[in-house]
């Protein structure tokens, strides 16, 4: 009986320790669905999936801290998933819907956004800043880019190019953003 209880306790402890990682993987899955819908030209569904990914991204960190289950693996996994959901997916959304019109320049700006997001996440992974972020978090940049798509009919394509470049530079800048 004691052995069985010990086995159950260990199993529960292991499952509990993975709750935040499961939420992070859901974030990744939603980002993946967003990319698939972008490729199918169903941009509003892509916007929905990116916004849902942001909700799961918000909860994974909160739950990890609340349950005291933070880990280096979780931090790295979160960064990799964020690159997909808030770097690649929003950049492809804007590229496919708007900035492809600029040819190679649109392609380059799309890649710059993704690259700056990767740099931002790598810098975050090796830093130990408490209470603030250095540079605009990729989640915020990706959500701004995604939500800007909803104004596609009101904003001219050059403004999107400017927005992509501005958000890219803000992600790799050195200003501090208070953690919320």
- What token pair was written down for 146? 């995604």
What pLDDT, on a 0 to 100 scale, did the predictor assign at position 7? 60
Ramachandran class of 135: left when φ > 0, alpha when ψ lies in -120 to 50, beta otherwise: left
What pLDDT, on a 0 to 100 scale, did the predictor assign at position 9? 60
- Structural contact between residues 64 and 74, judged by C-beta atoms closer than 8 angstroms: yes
Domains (range + CATH), the chain: 14-178 (1.20.120.1760)
- What token pair was written down for 30? 């939603």
CA atoms of 90 and 109, how far apart (whole Å): 12
What pLDDT, on a 0 to 100 scale, did the predictor assign at position 121? 93
What pLDDT, on a 0 to 100 scale, did the predictor assign at position 173? 95
Q: Name the stretches of the chain with pLDDT < 50.
A: none
CA atoms of 70 and 179, how far apart (whole Å): 17
pTM for the full predicted model: 0.89
What pLDDT, on a 0 to 100 scale, did the predictor assign at position 15? 66
The separation between CA 33 and the C-alpha centre of its own chain, rounded to angstroms, equals 13
What sections of the chain are H helices per DSSP? 2-17, 19-39, 43-66, 72-82, 89-97, 104-126, 138-148, 157-172
Question: What's the pLDDT tens digit per position in 63-83?
Answer: 878 888 778 888 889 999 999
């Amino acid at each position: 009986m004691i052995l069985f209880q010990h086995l159950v306790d260990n199993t529960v402890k292991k499952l509990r320790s993975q709750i935040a990682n499961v939420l992070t993987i859901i974030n990744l899955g939603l980002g993946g669905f967003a990319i698939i819908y972008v490729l199918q030209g169903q941009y509003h569904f892509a916007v929905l999936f990116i916004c849902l990914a942001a909700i799961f991204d918000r909860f994974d960190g909160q739950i990890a801290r609340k349950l005291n289950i933070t880990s280096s693996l979780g931090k790295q996994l979160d960064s990799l998933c964020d690159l997909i959901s808030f770097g690649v997916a929003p950049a492809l959304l804007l590229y496919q819907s708007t900035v492809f019109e600029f040819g190679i320049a649109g392609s380059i700006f799309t890649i710059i956004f993704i690259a700056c997001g990767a740099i931002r996440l790598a810098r975050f992974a090796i830093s130990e800043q408490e209470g603030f972020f250095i540079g605009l978090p990729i989640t915020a940049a990706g959500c701004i880019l995604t939500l800007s798509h909803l104004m596609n009919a009101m904003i001219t394509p050059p403004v999107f190019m400017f927005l992509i470049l501005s958000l890219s530079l803000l992600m790799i800048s050195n200003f501090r953003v208070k953690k919320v």
